[in-house]
Amino acid sequence: MIGRLPLDEQLPALRAALQTNELLTEVLARTAGLGLPGWYLTAGCVFQTVWNVVTGRPPGGGIKDYDVFYFDDTDLSWAAEDEVIAAGRTVFADLPVEVEIRNEARVHLWYEEKFGVPCPAYGSSEAAIDSFAATTCCVGLRAEPDGRWRVYAPYGLSDVFNLVLRPNPVQAPRSVYETKAARWRARWPELTVLPWPEPD
């Protein structure tokens, strides 16, 4: 079972699983060409590809969009982010998926209005990944110029391979976790969904 292997042995298994999703590898390669600072391909397209591979489903099945995070705190204007989004729209125009590009340096400017709780300013793309509603989701990767993949997984990969959804109550409210968990469980009924921790 991959989820019980040491992390250094899980990393090649992660790459092997993700490479079965041709759309993911294409988005990864094209994003590298955009030259975005501190970027990662992250969120559902990563862990859901693994879930699909582990459960014998088509690698890209059920994946709503492909999320690209980058971090540029030199210009926090919407105009600057929109320029990057427009460039991405051109680069990904022929792909049959939505690629959502977001500057994580700006998240604190709109997060509370959308989710109802304030968000401190992130200091990096990694900090943004750290705050996903489930620790299982906290995985990002990018393609380096030498062909290596840089993988950021602060909580490891065992839960991803073992189909365990574990809450991460550092930023997102409980309702976000439970809504996502219900949606994902409907698609991947093999998931073990751990409950949101109750206050002491």
The reply to whether the predicted model has a pTM over 0.85 is yes
Tell me whether residue 199 is in a domain: no
Tell me whether residue 200 is in a domain: no
Cα–Cα dist 154/150, whole Å:
13
pLDDT of residue 119: 87
Range of the domain at 85: 2-192
**Which residues are registered as beta bridge partners of 65?**
none
Asked if residue 5 has pLDDT above 70, the reply is no
Among 191, 141, 197, 193, residue whose Cα is nearest residue 168: 197
Tell me whether residue 197 is in a domain: no
Asked if residue 3 has pLDDT above 60, the reply is no
Q: How many domains does the chain have?
A: 1
Asked if residue 65 has pLDDT above 70, the reply is yes
pLDDT of residue 191: 97
Tell me whether residue 120 is in a domain: yes
Tell me whether residue 156 is in a domain: yes
C-alpha dihedral (40, 43, 49, 51), degrees to nearest 10 = 140
Tell me whether residue 15 is in a domain: yes
Instruction: Give the per-residue SS3 of 87-112.
Output: HHHHHCCCCCCCEEEEEHHHHHHHHH
pLDDT of residue 9: 83
Tell me whether residue 38 is in a domain: yes
